[in-house]
Amino acid sequence: MGKPEFVGKKSKAAGGWGALKSCGKKLLASGAPLTGAAAMLKANQPDGFDCPGCAWGDPEHGSSFEFCENGVKAVAWEATDKRVRPDFFNSHTVTELRRWTDYELEREGRLTHPMRYDATSDTYLETTWDAAFTEIGAVLNSLDSPDRAEFYTSGRASNEAAYVYQLFVRLYGTNNFPDCSNMCHEASGVALEQAIGIGKGTVVLEDFEKADAIFVIGQNPGTNHPRMLGDLRRAALRGAKVAVFNPVREKGLERFADPQDKIEMLTGGSKPIASEYYQVHLGGDMAAVRGMAKAVFALDEAARAAGNPSLLDHGFLEQHTSGLEHYRAAVEATSWDDIESQSGLSRAELEHLAGIYVSSERTICTWAMGVTQHRHSVATIREIANFMFLRGNVGRPGTGLCPVRGHSNVQGDRTVGINEKPSRAFLDSLEKEFGVSMPRRAGHNVIGAIGAMLDGSAQAFIGLGGNFARATPDSALIAKALRSQKLTVNIATKLNHSHLLPGEVSYILPCLGRTEIDRNAKGVAQIVTVEDSMSMVHGSGGINRPASPQLRSEIAIIAGIAAATVGSDVVDWAALSQNYDLVRDLIARTIPGFHGYNERVRKPRGFRLYNAVEHRVWHTRTRKATFSSAHLPRETEHQQALGEHGLFVLQTFRSHDQYNTTVYGLDDRYRGVYGERRIVFVNPDDLAEIGAESGDRIDIVGHHEDGVERIAESFRVVSYDLPRGSVAGYYPELNVLVPLASAGIESDTPTSKSVLVTFRLAEQRKAA
Ligand SMILES: Nc1nc2c(c(=O)[nH]1)N[C@H]1C(S)=C(S)[C@@H](COP(=O)(O)OP(=O)(O)OC[C@H]3O[C@@H](n4cnc5c(=O)[nH]c(N)nc54)[C@H](O)[C@@H]3O)O[C@H]1N2
Ligand SMILES: Nc1nc2c(c(=O)[nH]1)N[C@H]1C(S)=C(S)[C@@H](COP(=O)(O)OP(=O)(O)OC[C@H]3O[C@@H](n4cnc5c(=O)[nH]c(N)nc54)[C@H](O)[C@@H]3O)O[C@H]1N2
Ligand SMILES: [Mo]
């Protein structure tokens, strides 16, 4: 079997020279080698901007520049010299642009002018900011209820932009806040809120220096949180165990050459990171964690029977938790058969892992999309919390629960009020501050908003960043939903598919990016603030010249729309847009934890938001850390696929050359794939069984029970090391297969990591 041309050498390790070389290429290709490189030196520095790449924390000590290949790509992509000017739109109709790929669209460069859609010519035409604000305000005010408008947020928006946005939208009269987090870490928020009383992680970066064991579940940090690899590597070097659960063997998690380490770079050496790598089945993590807990209980009994001290933290369990007995009963009632067949791991493996857990004084557990994008994600995360409670691994140095966030400020956006189900306390405090009543009805999340757009009850869509049409499931339906709107507005840095599905009235409003200097009318540079995965809030100020003199900041754009829609009686929008200190003062007055905001955020590393769990105070219903005692799912999609010939479960993940729907390039270096994204990774035995060879083209057909036909055409199969019955491919190309109707229990998150599919091979394709 010859190797297809797009399958090449896999990098021996993540990071290293490959990463450096790739960075150089990215900076050159972005058309901005110099500004890009200069900008990189300011990323995550006390006086620079927050890297838009990911939400991993910044080190406390020293200001040494932390090198990260994918951070370079994110910065270079924004700092490009290329521009999408009005003449670009004049020479391409929207219908024509819809045929371009995301990669081709974004590669054209930065948006420069406010644009309005003209249906007659099917093009976007240049307009003025004032005309845009006036018309947007008029359409919003013409709707028969504020609940007919949807206000989407993507997680790059700063705290200040997000706060001004939610304030405007609530004064307008709705809580319709579909948010990228609905497709991302929603399950973590819901589960942690129930388990520990706060929907965020409990660790700080320093905890990684103290932990004896770190469980990394369902994430690919080599690509998506490269700076985390540095922390894992340092932990591994000082002897901490790093146990990975991932169906796919991800290079970055196996070995890592540190680009900051000169010796390793010169010798080509690399250090192993994961001491333990377990290829759990898709959706099998709850079973795996339950298996470990079962083994921990057994080890504890054996220890006590032998007259040794208990392996559980009884002090913590008695004083701080509730529900242990029910949980223990649920664990006892779960059979090893079920655990093994659902997790795909053997009893012996799980007992071995339990051994690591009980010999570790301090344990951290991290997770991301491999855990959150399943039907039973909330139950899985609660199981992780249960497991960690057993030995008091929360609220103690070197321990904790660590959902690793996606977008660089997705956590901060939530903190400052982007929430379709706001707490009563928050609304009360807004009412007290502004002296007007706030909407109390719960609003729409992403799935709710799409439903409302489809059934005609929503008629306007505003997007503060992001790429709603491509990030959401069932791409064909979303296109219909957006096109049916009376108004669509996208505040964005780069052109994407969501902008090419205009409603009756449609605008693209170009904004400044993080890397750019944001000066007010008097020429005073403004800073914004963001919150990372460790709840650290810090300042971010751009250093590059704006991509176009026409650009406005997100805050100024929202302020403009707000003034034209709700007027300036209650809030002086113009004043806020000229001085972000005033926005921060409002945040400090209406949201707990932000006292002295303006002062504290100007300290080099900012400040950490109060986290009650650190003090072992639990804002749960029981006022304790709360065990759950759910059953395992009766059958996961993976089990279903294994039981039926020709059926597979597909996960949609990220390549090394993309940022969500932004595609930087067509390579996936760590997985050895070059120049091609329409591929699907399949286990070699499965390939043989279906009679296909690496490189063959197939169609992937959705298999959801709702009878809707979903087909992803002409993908190439690649033989890969992943469990039988499961396959993997890239988002967003495969979103056509993700059914809108399949969402997480309690989280409503699309199940992007467990989509049932079948394949159609060449002959069958011809016949179809
Ligand atoms: N460069 C770059 N950085 C990014 C992003 C990006 O696109 N590019 N996106 C940002 C955002 S918004 C987010 S949310 C994060 C995403 O960060 P990740 O969660 O790392 O993103 P994915 O690529 O979706 O990777 C999911 C990983 O989980 C594994 N997995 C899938 N299903 C299962 C399962 O059932 N069990 C287990 N144990 N593992 C499973 C997959 O094999 C894969 O390794 O990264 C952020 N950072
Ligand atoms: N099948 C499948 N679907 C998924 C996922 C998956 O794993 N599988 N992951 C989900 C996850 S975790 C997430 S977070 C969502 C992401 O969903 P989104 O956040 O909606 O998508 P992005 O691709 O991050 O948005 C990219 C666009 O943001 C704009 N942009 C970039 N920087 C800025 C800025 O500074 N300001 C403004 N205003 N705009 C800017 C640019 O125009 C760019 O085209 O997708 C989800 N969808
Ligand atoms: Mo995300």
What's the CA gap between 159 and 540, in Å, rounded? 11
Residues with CB under 6 A from ligand 2: 106, 154-156, 180, 183-184, 369, 373, 406-407, 464-468, 471, 491-494, 496, 511, 513-514, 554, 652, 660-662, 731, 735, 738, 752
282 lines ligand 1 (CB under 6 A): yes
As a whole number of angstroms, the distance between CA 507 and CA 136 comes to: 9
Closest ligand to Cα 671? 1
186-403: same fold as 110-184+409-511+552-595? no
8 A C-beta contact, residue 678 and residue 696: no
Which atom of ligand 1 approaches the CA of 368 most closely?
A: 19
- Which helix or strand (DSSP H or E) is residue 652 part of? strand 648-653
Residue 657 to residue 674: CA distance in whole angstroms: 10
Q: Which of 246, 376, 381, 470 to probe ligand 1 with, by most ligand atoms within 8 A of CB?
A: 246
pLDDT number for residue 38? 53
**CATH (one of 3.10.20.30, 3.40.50.740, 3.40.50.720, 3.30.70.1350) for 110-184+409-511+552-595:** 3.40.50.740
* Contact assessment for residue 722 and residue 248, using Cβ atoms and an 8 Å cutoff: yes
Q: What is the DSSP letter of 49?
A: P
- Residues 385, 189: Cα–Cα separation, whole Å: 13
* Two structure tokens written together for 726: 């499961």
The Å distance, Cα 91 to ligand 1 centre, comes to 38
Edge-first strand listing for the sheet containing 536-540: 528-531, 536-540, 607-608
Give yes or no for residue 286 CB within 6 A of ligand 1. no
Q: Is 250 in the pocket of ligand 1 (CB under 6 A)?
A: yes
Cα of 300 from ligand 3 centre, angstroms:
38
Which one is the CATH code of 637-767: 3.40.50.2020, 2.40.40.20, 3.20.20.150, 3.10.180.10? 2.40.40.20
* Cα–Cα distance list, 60 to 200, 607, 745 (Å): 20, 11, 38
Domain 186-403 class in CATH: alpha beta
Which run of H or E residues covers position 291? Answer: helix 285-305
Q: Which residues contact 235 (CB under 8 A, 6 or more apart)?
A: 208, 209, 211, 214, 242
- Is beta strand 726-730 parallel, antiparallel or unpaired with respect to 697-702? unpaired
Which residues face 509 on adjacent strands? 491
Domain locations in the chain as residue ranges: 110-184+409-511+552-595, 186-403, 637-767
Contact present, 529 and 540 (Cβ < 8 Å): yes
Burial class (CB in 10 A: 0-12, 13-18, 19+), 5: exposed
Distance 684 CA to ligand 1 centre (A): 23
Q: What is the pTM of this model?
A: 0.94
Residue 134 CA, ligand 1 centroid: distance in Å: 41
Whether a cis peptide bond, with omega within 30° of 0, leads into 732 is: yes
Phi, psi of 385 (to 5 degrees): -65, -45
Nearest to 110 by CA among 415, 459, 551: 551
Measuring CA to CA, how many Å separate 29 from each of 109, 259, 522?
Answer: 11, 21, 35
Alpha carbons 491 and 466: distance in angstroms, whole number: 9
User: Which ligand 1 atom minimizes the distance to the CA of 753?
Assistant: 32
680: part of which helix (H) or strand (E)? strand 679-682
Supply the DSSP string of 697-721, one letter for each residue: EEEEEE--TT----EEEEEEEEE-S
3-state secondary structure labels for all residues of 216-242: EECCCHHHHCHHHHHHHHHHHHCCCEE
Q: What are the DSSP calls for 398-448, one per residue?
A: T-EEEE--SSTTHHHHHHTT--SS--HHHHHHHHHHHSS----S----HHH
pLDDT of residue 743: 96
Give CA–CA dist 759/716, Å, rounded: 11
CB count in 10 Å sphere of residue 707? 5
Q: What is the pLDDT of residue 274?
A: 76
Of 699, 717, 703, give the one whose Cα is nearest residue 768: 699
pLDDT given for residue 382 in this prediction:
98
CA distance 382 to 358: 19
Residue 755 structure tokens: 């989509």
pLDDT of residue 14: 65
Q: Whose CA is nearest to atom 12 of ligand 1?
A: 406
Closest ligand to Cα 653: 1
Q: From ligand 1's centre to the CA of 188, what distance in Å? A: 14
Verify whether ligand 1 is closer than 6 Å to residue 215 (CB atom). Answer: no
Cα dihedral across residues 503, 504, 510, 511: positive or negative: negative
Q: Is 427 in the pocket of ligand 1 (CB under 6 A)?
A: no
Residue with tokens 């020479």: 91
How much distance in Å is there from the Cα of 373 to the middle of ligand 1? Answer: 10
The pick from 103, 493, 495 for probing ligand 2's pocket by mutation, whose C-beta has the most ligand atoms within 8 angstroms, reads: 493
Residue 69 confidence (pLDDT): 76
- Block means of pLDDT (10 residues each) for the chain, length 768 residues? 63 59 52 50 63 74 54 86 97 98 94 98 98 98 98 97 98 98 97 97 96 97 89 92 95 72 63 86 98 98 98 98 98 98 98 98 98 98 98 98 93 96 97 98 98 97 98 94 98 98 98 95 95 92 94 98 98 98 98 96 90 96 98 98 97 96 92 94 96 95 91 96 98 96 97 97 69
Ion ligand 3, residue ranges at CB < 5 A: 184, 406
Q: How far away, in angstroms, is 660 Cα from ligand 2 center?
A: 5
